[in-house]
Amino acid sequence: MKTKIFCDIAELDLIKRFNKKKIVKGFTTNPSLIRKAGAKDYKSYSKNILKICKNKPVSLEVFADEYFEMKKQAVEINKWAKNVYVKVPVINSKGKFMGRVIKELNNQNIKLNITAIYSAKQTERILKMINKKTKVIISIFAGRAADTGKDPVPEIKKSIVLAKKFKNVEILWASVREPYNYLQAKQLGCHIITIPPATIEKIENFGKTFEQLTRETVKSFLIDSKKSNFKIKY
């Protein structure tokens, strides 16, 4: 199974550029990325993203924290385009499991990207809430887990095994920290990995020999030293 690469980004110019890349099979966003991109209105900005990405899945996240408002936002976002996956957090800020929202939206045939997952136990809870028809992505924040000294690989492995009973469920490696994470995700059998633009460009350079890398590194040192006009008097 091939691991699909999604691009984790919200800047419109970058989305236009990366949407043209064959390696990129979809896009993920979140309210933080959209805010950083300078958006003033969430709906109109998201629709601009969807105008660019018409044939690839795009994940757009709710930002409400309570059940009723979260569900209303999800239903509304789902109306914006057929290729939308509505991102819903596994819990709210108070730590309450959003199983009711997940179940009800899933039963309405709304494609979901369940986000902020860290453990296989959370994956298991989600799988108990969904049917085996409507598409669901489960996003596991591997990088953020690793940042705290925890190995995310065992949790992802267990989650992949749990999801095998669901043909409609895909496990996504989120919060990438380096290009090598893509190879790790492939080895584990992740369905998707979402990656920032700069890291995708590094992945496109995979396949270089150690000799090529050594030469490129030395060249970069030489270029920088010439730009700085460094001199040593003898």
Complete domains list, the chain, with CATH? 4-207 (3.20.20.70)
Gap between the Cα atoms of 89 and 125, Å rounded: 13
CB 153 within 8 A of CB 185: no
Phi/psi of residue 217, nearest 5 degrees: -65, -45
**Residue 217 is which amino acid?**
T
Q: Would you state the torsion angle of the CA atoms of residues 211, 217, 223, 226, taken in this order, to the nearest 10 degrees?
A: -100
Gap between the Cα atoms of 47 and 70, Å rounded: 19
Q: What is the pLDDT of residues 43-72, one digit of tens each?
A: 999 999 999 999 999 999 999 999 999 999
What's the Cα-to-Cα distance from 29 to each of 47, 52, 113, 144, 153, rounded to whole Å?
Answer: 12, 14, 11, 16, 23
pTM value surpassing 0.75? yes
CB 122 within 8 A of CB 90: yes
Q: What is the pLDDT of residues 135-176, one digit of tens each?
A: 999 999 999 999 999 999 999 999 999 999 999 999 999 999
Gap between the Cα atoms of 10 and 26, Å rounded: 12
Q: Is 87 a catalytic residue?
A: yes
- From 36, 51, 56, 87, active-site residue: 87
- Report pLDDT for 205: 84
Which of the four pLDDT bands, split at 50, 70 and 90, describes residue 81?
Answer: very high
Percent of the chain with pLDDT over 70: 100
